[in-house]
Each structure stands twice: as C-alpha cells, then as structure tokens.
Amino acid sequence: MELLPLLTALLLAHALAYLAWTAAARRRQSRCYLLDYVCHKPRDGRKITTETAGDVIQRNKRLALSDYRFLLRVTVRSGIGEETYAPQSILEGREDAPALRDALDEMDAFIDEAIAELFARTGFAPRDVDVLVFNVSMLSPAPSLASRVVRRYGLREDVAAYNLTGMGCSAGLVALDLARNALRTRRRALALVVSSESIAPNWYSGTDRSMMLANCLFRSGGAAVLLSNDPAHRGRAKMELSCLVRAHIGANDDAHVCALQREDAEGRVGISLSKALPKAAVRAFAVNLRRLAPRVLPVAELARFASRLLSRQLLAHLRSSGKKAGGGDAPRIDFKTGVDHFCLHPGGTAVIEAVKQSLGLDDGDVEPSRMTLHRGRGRTASAATRRRASTTHTWSSLAGSTTSKATH
C-alpha cells in the first residue's frame, strides 16, 4: 500500500516535468530569428538624379507651368536624394505606354540579384526554404511573383508559398507576421520574405496633382529576408522578432481611400494620395502604440504615465467644479525607456518630423529614417521596413551598440 502513493507521486512529477519541457520547447519553437537580409541596389544605369527627374517631367507635354512648379516643390520637400532608381522603361521614355514585360523585367532584376545574394551570404540553398512570402502592392501577374521565385530557384514542391498584393506600405510588416505565424506550425524551418514594389506600370502621366505625388515619392528597390525558428540559429542571427502589432483601420472612409489606385478624368491610371493620408497614418500609429507600449515599456514608466494621467484628470475635475487648480502639460510616454532604436516610416521629411515631435525624439533617433529616405533609394513602399531596419542596424553598429528592441 505504501508503494501506491510513491508511484502516484512519481507519475505526477513525470507529468509535470513533461509539461514543463513541452512548454519550453514550444517557446523555443515560437522564436523568430532574422538571419540576414539584402537590400537590392539596382545598377547605376537606372539611377534617377534630379537632372534625370527633370527630363522625365519635361517629357509630359500636358503639364502647365503651375504643374511644373508644384512637382519641383514636392520633389525638393520630399527629402529624397540622388541615390534613387527608376525602371528602365521610364528612363527610356516609355512611361506613357508601359508593357507587362517592363513590369516583369523590373521584378526579375530584383529577384535574380537580391535573393541570390541572400543565399550566397547565408550559405543556405533554395531547397532549404520551407516558407516563401512575396509581397508587391501594385503588380499581380499570373503565375504569381511567388511562383516566379519558386521556378527561378527550384524551391521544393512542399514549400508554403504566399503572394500578397494591394496592401501598400504596411505589407512589409504583414509579410513578416505571416511568415512568423507560418513558422510557428513548423519545426526548425526557414522562411524567405521578399518585398518590393512595381513602378514601371504605375507611373502617372496625367495632370491630377493627387496622382502626380506618387511619381515624386516612390522609387524602385526591394529587400529579401531570411527568417528561422531553429534555436540552433540563434547565435548567427542579426536580430530577433520579439513582438509585432498590427492595426487595420480600413473601415474608416478616409483611411480606405487615402492611397487609392484609380483613373483620372481622362482615363489615365495612377495612385492617388489624398490629403487625409497624414490623418489616417496618425490614427493607425496611435492604435499601434497603445498595443505596443505595454509589451516593450518597463512597469515603472507605465506607472509614471498612469499616475500623471490620473493627476491631470483630477485637476480637470477640480476646474470643472469651480475650484482653483493648476494646469499642466499633457502626460507623454517616454518610449526611450523601453526602445533602443526607432525605425520610422520614411514617407517624407514632414512625416518623420511629425513622429519625432509626437514621441519626443531627438535628431539622432530619426537619423536612420532620414538616411533611408535620402540615400537608401527613396520610398520603396512595402520594402521600406527592411530598408529602415538595414539603416538602423548599420547606424547602431557605427555607434557601438546592439539593437535589443526596435519599433516600426
């Protein structure tokens, strides 16, 4: 009879140990390591300098003098430098009648160079890839671009391939989230995430100013990233994806149409950027920060902010009751207490400056984003996330530090 309680205790201890081991294994399996990345740099013959941009603009005989002045003003204020690139079709003067071949040539140049360099740099073979995510907003050929990569590099038949289109600048993070979730269902797997944008078929040659903006802001480029959930790869990883939050505010009318592909009055297709874009961006930014703050900030900072917020509400109540009470500045969270480096969307100098002011950052915090915009091949839409991360990683290395937490 004394043996039965002992046996029960041993079985219970074994079960608890097994559950603990399983939980630890699942936790290790849920890790997502960024092994390496490649930011595509097109050949120098595709570089679009200020002089070249002026030549392209002057080819559009539909523009009035006021339109030329508008484009010049936008280009100067955009913060984009001389190290940006355009598709070959635009440089050759065929932007009025782009062909599908032009769009595919632009993508093939990126696929052939960036992904090949990533495999060479990491030492992995294409057949090692278990998950493939390809995202380009403004091009959706058949077969898909993901299938184009599978065929070009001979990926395995059981590779989980995903192709994302029409999701704008946020698609880079959406692709990362999709790849991370796909890795969670697999053991010791590799994920290849490829982000780019198609400029060749989307150059606007009309006179609608909301659609002319995209010509000034978007450039060719892309990035390829290799992710892994294998604990054995932790030592060679450049970064680890600790947390990722996403907000979709597309139910709001202004947000839904702030970046819209449409036809102008003369039937010319282009991307329209509305005046509601900054407002929609700020709204999405605020929603994401509310979700991100509890995950990355220390308890002391959260408690400080909560106490200041309660004090402000109490003062407001006293003032409404007719009692004298001092004012005070609105409480602000100090994100530097939990974030080492900031990767801000390089949508333009005005966007970067607005976020800098709202978060209380200094020039050093936003310098990587400014460098990405000025020297990192401009605004490359969904691939901009990886370009900002690349610039931030380089910047932190030059400063003698290592990124432990970052926010987009």
Where along the chain do its domains lie? 33-247, 298-407
- pLDDT of 332 reads 78
Question: Residues 79-137: pLDDT tens digits?
Answer: 787 788 999 999 999 998 889 999 999 999 999 999 999 999 999 999 999 999 999 99
pLDDT confidence band for 400 (50 / 70 / 90): very low
Average pLDDT (151-178) is: 94
Average pLDDT (263-283) is: 89
**pLDDT at position 30 over 70:** yes
Query: Which range (70-84, 180-194, 207-221) has the least confidence?
Result: 70-84
Provide the total of helices (H) and of strands (E) in the chain, helices listed first.
15, 10
User: 111 or 22: whose pLDDT is higher?
Assistant: 111
Question: Which amino acid is located at 180 in the chain?
Answer: R
Query: Which range (120-134, 260-274, 359-373, 381-395) has the least confidence?
Result: 381-395
**pLDDT at position 298 over 50:** yes
Question: Which amino acid is located at 100 in the chain?
Answer: L
**pLDDT at position 11 over 80:** no
Average pLDDT (398-407) is: 42
Average pLDDT (184-209) is: 94
Residue range 33-247 forms a domain whose CATH class is alpha beta
Query: Which range (26-35, 65-74, 385-394) has the least confidence?
Result: 385-394
Average pLDDT (48-76) is: 88
Residue 10 CA to its chain's centroid (Å): 51
**pLDDT at position 404 over 50:** no
User: 370 or 382: whose pLDDT is higher?
Assistant: 370
Q: Which of 152, 184, 140, 147 is nearest to 162 (CA)?
A: 147
CA–CA dist 156, 127 (Å, integer)? 5
DSSP codes joined into one string, 91-120: HTT-TTS--HHHHHHHHHHHIIIIIHHHHH
User: Is residue 129 within 8 Å of residue 161, measured between CB atoms?
Assistant: no
User: Is residue 387 within 8 Å of residue 174, measured between CB atoms?
Assistant: no
Looking only at the bridges linking them, the beta strands covering 131-136 and 160-164 are parallel
Instruction: Determine if the peptide bond prior to 143 is cis (ω within 30°).
Output: yes
pLDDT confidence band for 402 (50 / 70 / 90): very low
**pLDDT at position 380 over 70:** no
CA 213 to each of CA 74, 164, 174, 241: distance values in angstroms, whole numbers, following the listed order: 7, 24, 25, 33
To the nearest whole number, what is the mean pLDDT of the chain? 83
**pLDDT at position 225 over 90:** yes
CA–CA dist 192, 346 (Å, integer)? 24
